[in-house]
């Protein structure tokens, strides 16, 4: 029995005795050379099958790069996974014959697409990361001034910079989620290096971290509110740089009121801009991203591709062609597959209640650990679980618009079968889009 490890497939087969066996007197078979040629052709076909498998990889992460870049990644990715304390047995590495593709997929069953319970799976050993976010507080400070020889105390307002430590999704969970079945994330061109992968994981974590504790106002049919120090009501920034204007949305939340669409665009933008401005400063990339956002002088418009909304009937062909300034979209994602830093959409398919401004659907950002955003401080635990977020949108058709006891009495209790049905895509009897919006690879 000969065993050959070809890429990711372990081929096992028996080689007939007539190929290599010696006869009873010890003479080597006279037809060995031609028989060896048959084995060579078999191996060639097996290698082709391996290469085809790598090219048709449907899940996890795949790098499409040069041979030199792939060679480096083969060394550097295992080191990064070791830093994250990921057990090597959890990840299957896929290689290709041409050396230009490298894949990483979880060793979970092919039909296991869920990431919602990763923190509950003992084999993953996932714990929260603790990160620091900047804070700003304004204080009234007494100051002594002297005028014409007379001293007096006056009060001035000063801004004090600080830091706060928060628990958020771990980089380990994000990496494992990227490797899970249910979608394929591809890295190529500028993404053909380990730093691009590290940045992508860290940007997703930063997006989640900034979304952990929010309390913006909700317009509820009224005009949105933007801090006039930085924005007009378009909203267009009044002063630069852009990352500081975006950052103010999070530092002075009480000055802002917006719907969940603007809120989601804000958190996705903050996750990227703040990463390259504060966490791993890169002036060149930061300038590139800000330039892209300010192309039309409206930085929060068209940050995502128009094709992210291809399930909405009112979208025009021109709308669908919008490229997306800083975000990309992955389509056909499994309904229970979310990666921290994903922006998903849950559509209110009820004709009557969806006519109300703000209740057309819910733009939801995933924070890992089965948590979704609570932009308006409505939930006691500051987050929605997956089931709570889905149920929230579905219950709008029954007039349930708040978490109050009186409102919740109107809710319809769903059977497990009914709940599974509404997890299908809009147009297929459900309300959950199969599209996931996420950061581009920089």
Report pLDDT for 17.
35
Comparing 16-20, 154-158, 203-207, which segment has the lowest mean pLDDT? 16-20
What is the distance between the alpha carbons of residues 278 and 416, in angstroms, rounded to a whole number? Answer: 45
Report pLDDT for 44.
56
Among the listed residues 302, 290, 301, 327, the one whose alpha carbon sits nearest the alpha carbon of residue 236: 301
Comparing 24-38, 81-95, 193-207, which segment has the lowest mean pLDDT? 24-38
256 SS3 class: coil
Mean pLDDT, residues 19-27 taken together: 38
What is the distance between the alpha carbons of residues 211 and 360, in angstroms, rounded to a whole number? Answer: 22
At residue 287, does pLDDT exceed 70?
A: yes
Report pLDDT for 30.
52
Chain segment 423-433, per-residue pLDDT in tens:
999 999 999 99
**Eight-state DSSP code of residue 385:** -
What is the distance between the alpha carbons of residues 299 and 320, in angstroms, rounded to a whole number? Answer: 19
Report pLDDT for 4.
35
Report pLDDT for 36.
54
Q: Exposure pattern of 13-44 as b/e (b: 16+ CB <10 Å)?
A: eeeeeeeeeeeeeeeeeeeeeeeeeeeeeeee
Burial class (CB in 10 A: 0-12, 13-18, 19+), 402: exposed
Average predicted confidence (pLDDT) for the chain = 89
Domain ranges of the chain: 1-55, 129-168, 193-439
Chain segment 137-164, per-residue pLDDT in tens:
877 788 888 888 888 888 887 888 899 9
Chain segment 395-420, per-residue pLDDT in tens:
999 999 887 888 889 999 999 999 99
Burial class (CB in 10 A: 0-12, 13-18, 19+), 5: exposed
What is the distance between the alpha carbons of residues 170 and 131, in angstroms, rounded to a whole number? Answer: 10
Determine how β-strand 101-106 pairs with β-strand 91-95: antiparallel
Cβ–Cβ under 8 Å, residues 180 and 108: yes
| Percentage of the chain exceeding pLDDT 90 | 74
**Eight-state DSSP code of residue 40:** H
HSE at residue 235, side-chain half, CA atoms within 13 A, is: 26
Report pLDDT for 432.
98
Report pLDDT for 147.
84
Chain segment 297-355, per-residue pLDDT in tens:
999 999 999 999 999 999 999 999 999 999 999 999 999 999 999 999 999 999 999 99
At residue 7, does pLDDT exceed 50?
A: no
Among the listed residues 284, 280, 259, the one whose alpha carbon sits nearest the alpha carbon of residue 271: 280
Report pLDDT for 191.
97
What is the distance between the alpha carbons of residues 213 and 373, in angstroms, rounded to a whole number? Answer: 9
At residue 172, does pLDDT exceed 60?
A: yes
Tell if the pTM clears 0.95, that is, is over it: no
């Amino acid at each position: 029995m000969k065993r050959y490890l070809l890429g990711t497939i372990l081929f096992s087969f028996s080689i007939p005795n007539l190929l290599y066996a010696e006869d009873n007197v010890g003479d080597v078979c006279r037809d060995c050379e031609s028989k060896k040629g048959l084995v060579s052709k078999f191996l060639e076909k097996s290698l082709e099958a391996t290469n085809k498998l790598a090219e048709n990889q449907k899940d996890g992460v795949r790098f499409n790069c040069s041979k030199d870049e792939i060679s480096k990644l083969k060394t550097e990715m295992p080191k990064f996974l070791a830093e994250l304390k990921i057990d090597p047995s959890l990840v299957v590495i896929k290689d290709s014959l041409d050396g230009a593709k490298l894949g990483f997929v979880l060793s979970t069953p092919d039909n296991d697409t869920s990431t919602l319970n990763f923190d509950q799976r003992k084999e993953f050993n996932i714990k929260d990361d603790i990160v620091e976010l900047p804070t700003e507080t304004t204080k009234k400070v007494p100051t002594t001034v002297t005028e014409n020889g007379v001293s007096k105390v006056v009060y001035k307002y000063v801004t004090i910079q600080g830091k706060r430590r928060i628990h958020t999704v771990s980089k380990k969970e994000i990496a494992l989620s990227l490797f899970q079945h249910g979608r394929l994330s591809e890295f190529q061109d500028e993404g053909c290096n380990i730093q691009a992968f590290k940045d992508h994981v860290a940007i997703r974590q930063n997006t989640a971290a900034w979304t952990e504790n929010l309390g913006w106002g909700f317009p509820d049919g009224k005009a949105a509110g933007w801090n006039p120090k930085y924005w007009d009501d378009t909203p267009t920034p009044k002063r630069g740089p852009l990352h500081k204007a975006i950052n103010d949305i999070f530092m002075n939340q009480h000055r802002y009121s917006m719907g969940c669409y603007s809120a989601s665009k804000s958190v996705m933008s903050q996750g990227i801009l703040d990463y390259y401005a504060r966490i791993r400063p890169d002036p060149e990339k930061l300038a590139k991203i800000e330039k892209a956002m300010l192309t039309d002088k409206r930085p929060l418009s068209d940050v995502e591709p128009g094709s992210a909304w291809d399930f909405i009937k009112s979208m025009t062909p021109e709308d669908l062609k919008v490229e997306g300034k800083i975000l990309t979209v992955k389509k056909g994602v499994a309904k229970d597959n979310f990666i921290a830093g994903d922006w998903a959409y849950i559509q209110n398919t009820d004709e009557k209640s969806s006519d109300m401004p703000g209740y057309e659907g819910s733009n939801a950002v995933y924070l890992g650990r089965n948590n979704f955003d609570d932009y308006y401080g409505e939930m006691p635990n500051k987050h929605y679980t997956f089931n709570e977020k889905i149920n929230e949108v579905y219950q709008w058709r029954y007039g349930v618009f708040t978490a109050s006891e009186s409102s919740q009495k109107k809710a319809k209790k769903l059977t497990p079968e009914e709940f599974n049905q509404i997890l299908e895509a809009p147009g297929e009897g459900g309300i959950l889009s199969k599209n996931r919006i996420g950061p581009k690879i920089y």
